[in-house]
């Protein structure tokens, strides 16, 4: 079993050398213009040949999409079976499910709505939505897809559609963690669900949602008592923060007390810390999963910087959204 991933991990180790470092991020931040920033990334090998004709003032989304596709092409080359990667592919599948349902009902279906790399073929997903028959979707996705589709069709409530699919997504992540024998997958799934629960309660407070909303949205996990989380959330933010201080997520308090945007930075940084240990593993699937998460993180950081540069945002505003780098 160890030999199964030895070659793939060796390839990953070589690819890790080209990941953006903290110094690379500092250089991008120091660029005086959006065009200079794009060129700096092009010098690092980002993008593909189609960008050459578009020039440095092209929409950065073309570059980032090319990098996402490159990531999943590499994964496909390294490991034929995507099943071990389900825990990090599920976000793509459930995003694409939302895109297919909303795009179909609003008559705005477009390939630009979908993300590459998922386990569910996009054409298959679209066919299920167009026919209103979700039986051919993976187990665990069928019923939420049907419910979200008909709720949106009859109520035109996009948020309700999102909530149904998001709850199913978190349950799927939890199931992947519970069923895995890989330590990283178990730890990642647990943290993902727990941090999502934290965000749900703070979002619920901001939107003045009641107990029924929280009870319907939260997903049970091992590191947080969701019943207690609901109770303290109903008491107020001060009580919620006090409760979090005695959980494994005490370090989130100063971030989430500031804003949900700062919470997102905390969450992504904790994931990078979680995968750091995989740098020293040579024989399991862990380093491959870590590389995928690291690559997704650097694409996110590049998106933040490029968007900020293009919109002439103040450096301080961009910097406070920058995530920790894996390299």
Q: At what angle do helices 60-78 and 34-43 cross, to 10 degrees?
A: 20
Q: What is the pLDDT of residue 55?
A: 55
Provide the Cα torsion 278, 279, 282, 283; round to 10°: 10
Q: Is the pTM of this model over 0.85?
A: yes
Q: What is the pLDDT of residue 1?
A: 47
Q: What is the pLDDT of residue 111?
A: 84
User: Please, what sign has the CA dihedral across residues 37, 41, 47, 48?
Assistant: positive
Alpha helices in 180-285 (DSSP H): 183-206, 211-217, 226-235, 237-244, 253-258, 260-275
Neighbours of 1 (CB within 10 A): 7
Task: Please name which of 231, 232, 225, 276 lies closest in space to residue 248, comparing C-alpha atoms.
Answer: 225
Alpha helices in 141-219 (DSSP H): 142-155, 158-179, 183-206, 211-217
Tens-level pLDDT at each residue, the chain (327 residues): 456 788 899 999 999 999 999 999 999 999 999 999 999 999 999 987 665 555 555 678 889 988 999 999 999 888 888 888 899 999 999 999 999 999 999 999 888 899 888 889 999 999 999 999 999 999 889 999 999 999 999 999 999 999 999 999 999 999 999 999 999 999 999 999 999 999 999 999 999 999 999 999 999 999 999 999 999 999 999 999 999 999 999 999 999 999 999 999 999 999 999 999 898 888 889 999 999 999 999 999 999 999 999 999 999 999 999 999 997
Is residue 27 within 8 A of residue 36, CB to CB? The reply is no
């Amino acid at each position: 079993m160890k030999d199964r991933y030895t070659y793939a991990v060796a390839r990953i180790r070589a690819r890790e050398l080209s990941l953006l470092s903290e110094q690379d991020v500092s250089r991008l931040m120091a660029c005086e213009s959006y065009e200079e920033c794009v060129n700096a990334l092009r010098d690092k090998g980002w993008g593909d040949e189609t960008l050459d004709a578009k020039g440095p003032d092209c929409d950065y989304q073309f570059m980032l999409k090319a990098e996402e596709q490159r990531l999943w092409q590499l994964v496909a080359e390294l490991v034929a079976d995507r099943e071990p990667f389900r825990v990090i592919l599920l976000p793509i599948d459930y995003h694409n499910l939302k895109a297919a349902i909303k795009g179909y009902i609003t008559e705005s279906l477009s390939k630009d709505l979908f993300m590459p790399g998922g386990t569910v073929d996009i054409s298959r997903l679209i066919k299920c939505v167009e026919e209103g028959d979700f039986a051919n979707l993976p187990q665990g996705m069928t019923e939420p897809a049907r419910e979200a589709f008909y709720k949106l069709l009859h109520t035109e409530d996009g948020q309700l559609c999102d909530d149904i699919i998001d709850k199913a997504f978190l349950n799927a992540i939890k199931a992947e963690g519970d069923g895995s024998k890989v330590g990283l997958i178990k730890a990642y799934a647990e943290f993902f669900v727990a941090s999502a629960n934290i965000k749900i309660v703070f979002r619920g407070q901001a939107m003045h949602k009641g107990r029924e909303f929280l009870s319907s949205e939260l997903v049970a996990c091992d590191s947080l008592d969701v019943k207690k989380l609901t109770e303290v959330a109903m008491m107020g933010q001060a009580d919620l923060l006090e409760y979090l201080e005695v959980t494994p997520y005490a370090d989130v308090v100063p971030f989430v007390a500031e804003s949900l945007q700062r919470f997102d930075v905390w969450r992504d940084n904790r994931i990078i810390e979680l995968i750091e240990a995989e740098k020293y593993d040579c024989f399991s699937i862990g380093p491959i999963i870590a590389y995928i998460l690291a690559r997704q993180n650097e694409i996110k950081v590049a998106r933040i910087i490029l968007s900020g540069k293009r919109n002439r945002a103040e450096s301080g505003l961009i910097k406070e959204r920058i995530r920790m780098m894996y390299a």
